[in-house]
Structure 1
Amino acid sequence: MAAGIMLCCTAFHASAVVNAEKTRVVFNSGSIAESLSLVNSEKEPVVVQVWTDNGDPTVSPDKVHTPIVINPPVFKMKPAEIRNIRLLLVSAGSLPQDRESVFWLNIYQIPPNTETQLKNEKRVVLPLKIRMKVFVRPEKVGELKESDIQKLQFSIRHDAGSDKILIQNPTPWHMTISSLKSGQTELSGVMVEPFGRQLMEIPKDQTTTNEIMYEVINDNGTRWSNKKMYADGQG
């Protein structure tokens, strides 16, 4: 009973303290440095650690290696402070030259007081981590344009006992599809690698039509919409 009372009196506070000005960072052809503005809330100071990884969020910063260096990697922010960080591309020569590469930026924020007392309510303030994509485009790969999302190809595959939508990406860009709908079928978002393919299973209680509508997230973090016809039974 005592343990139950303690749980009832404890509130876990996990609202974001530091936020970024955009949802992704893009190194376009020839760029070796990009900046990102962070803004702290007006309520309290915070300690921030920033690093990049290869897609595995469980790897600690001291054990991950990417061609991107962050400056500064650790810093304090005062209430309402705006801070610019620099992302430096230091070894792009090892990356593929015919397609875009992707890394992940981690913004780890630790409020100064992990435990506070307010009106007899115990609050535990949890450290928070924001993750966003970092795209690196070699010299031969230009900027992503709205017309490029029309190059995505969709078809239906009939595998043993289940139907799937096959998405093929013939472009050198990562295509981040935020929504996909065909008939009664609505599927969650997915990122398809350059020159890659992705299979999305169709729930058995849903049906599709011969038209598919989808949205792709662009460099600005907004969405481009498009619709296409696709052939049943291909793939």
Structure 2
Amino acid sequence: MTRKRRSLIALLLTSAGLLITPLAQADIVLSGTRIIYKGDQKDVTLRMENKGPRPLLVQTWIDTGSENADPSAIAVPFTVTPPVSRVDAKRGQTVKVTWTGSQKLPDDRESLFWFNALEVPPKMSDAEAKNKNILQLAFRTRIKLFYRPVNLKGNASDAPKQLTWRLQLSGGKLALLATNPTPFHVSFSELKLVSGGKKYDVNAHMVAPKGNSEMTVKGLSAAPSGAIVEYSAINDFGGAIDGKAKL
């Protein structure tokens, strides 16, 4: 699963004592780990659920891959409505992503964007904050949004097995080079190089359509013979597509 969270931390410490807080986590849970926007769809929807005990303000937007970009300065061919939502505790909110056609995208392959949900908890009242050490967190969740044009050849679920693999040295380290001849992005949750009964972890990356990606093999400095690649790719629904491939 491809998912990133950034914490914007504000600390209010009293003059005495140490800050002790349980491990924090996001309260907003999205209904999927990725969004597939097909070119013949008018719009797609995504459900946000507030699993926490307090209402939250949630800002949503789409970016082109730069996670630090100012949302107000990003130009994308989509709108998200509503852009800001109040989501009560244990309740949900549906947001709609709509294609505007304001930019020309390739029609022979998928295009990648990112959907963002930033949750900001309400400010504690003076009475709640009195004589307390407070840690307030604003979490951001990012998931991939794939724009998939109509009439692409093949099927996204078949794309992982069509990748070709080879070993090469890169900067003195052994790396796998994956080449993707398909029009679909291929993302991995796990990737290993298997040789001589041993499995070596690979620093897996997503492979863009009609592109390639170099991935470092951990703990291996020389190219073995008879090695194979074992992978677990991610399908449109966040599930696994397991397979093996020869080099």
Instruction: For 1:49 and 1:160, locate their aligned partners in 2 and report how far apart those are by CA, in whole Å.
Output: 41
Match of 1:103 in 2: 113
Q: Does 1:200 align with 2:236?
A: no
| Corresponding residue SS for 1:14 | coil
Given that 1:12 and 1:125 are in contact with CA atoms closer than 8 Å, whether structure 2 keeps it comes out as no
Instruction: For 2:170 and 2:25, locate their aligned partners in 1 and report how far apart those are by CA, in whole Å.
Output: 43
Q: Does 1:41 align with 2:41?
A: no
Q: TM-score, normalised by structure 2?
A: 0.83
Q: 1:11 Cα deviation (Å)?
A: 3.0
Instruction: For 2:200 and 2:137, locate their aligned partners in 1 and report how far apart those are by CA, in whole Å.
Output: 37
Q: 1:162 Cα deviation (Å)?
A: 3.1
Q: 1:68 Cα deviation (Å)?
A: 1.0
Instruction: For 1:220 and 1:7, locate their aligned partners in 2 and report how far apart those are by CA, in whole Å.
Output: 47
Match of 1:189 in 2: 204
For residues 6-17 of structure 1, the aligned pairs below 5 Å read 8-11=18-21, 14-17=24-27
Match of 1:174 in 2: 185
In structure 2, relative to structure 1, the CA distance for the partners of 1:42 and 1:161 (3 Å cut) is closer
| Corresponding residue SS for 1:126 | strand
Instruction: For 1:168 and 1:6, locate their aligned partners in 2 and report how far apart those are by CA, in whole Å.
Output: 58
| One-letter amino acid of the structure 2 residue matched with residue 61 of structure 1 | P
Instruction: For 2:170 and 2:60, locate their aligned partners in 1 and report how far apart those are by CA, in whole Å.
Output: 44
Q: TM-score, normalised by structure 1?
A: 0.86
In structure 2, relative to structure 1, the CA distance for the partners of 1:130 and 1:95 (3 Å cut) is same
Instruction: For 1:154 and 1:37, locate their aligned partners in 2 and report how far apart those are by CA, in whole Å.
Output: 37
Percent same amino acid at aligned positions?
A: 25
| One-letter amino acid of the structure 2 residue matched with residue 102 of structure 1 | L
Match of 1:164 in 2: 175
Instruction: For 1:160 and 1:19, locate their aligned partners in 2 and report how far apart those are by CA, in whole Å.
Output: 40
Match of 1:75 in 2: 85
Given that 1:47 and 1:112 are in contact with CA atoms closer than 8 Å, whether structure 2 keeps it comes out as yes
In structure 2, relative to structure 1, the CA distance for the partners of 1:63 and 1:133 (3 Å cut) is same
Instruction: For 2:207 and 2:71, locate their aligned partners in 1 and report how far apart those are by CA, in whole Å.
Output: 26
| One-letter amino acid of the structure 2 residue matched with residue 16 of structure 1 | A
Q: Does 1:152 align with 2:169?
A: no
| Corresponding residue SS for 1:66 | coil
Q: 1:142 Cα deviation (Å)?
A: 6.2
The Cα offsets for residues 139-195 of structure 1, whole Å up to 9 and x where unpaired, read as 222684433221011111245633221100110011102211112311133111110
Match of 1:233 in 2: none
The Cα offsets for residues 43-83 of structure 1, whole Å up to 9 and x where unpaired, read as 10010100000000100111111111000001211111111
- CA RMSD between the two structures: 2.6
In structure 2, relative to structure 1, the CA distance for the partners of 1:144 and 1:131 (3 Å cut) is farther
Match of 1:52 in 2: 62
Aligned length: 227
Unaligned segments of structure 2, at least 5 residues: 1-12
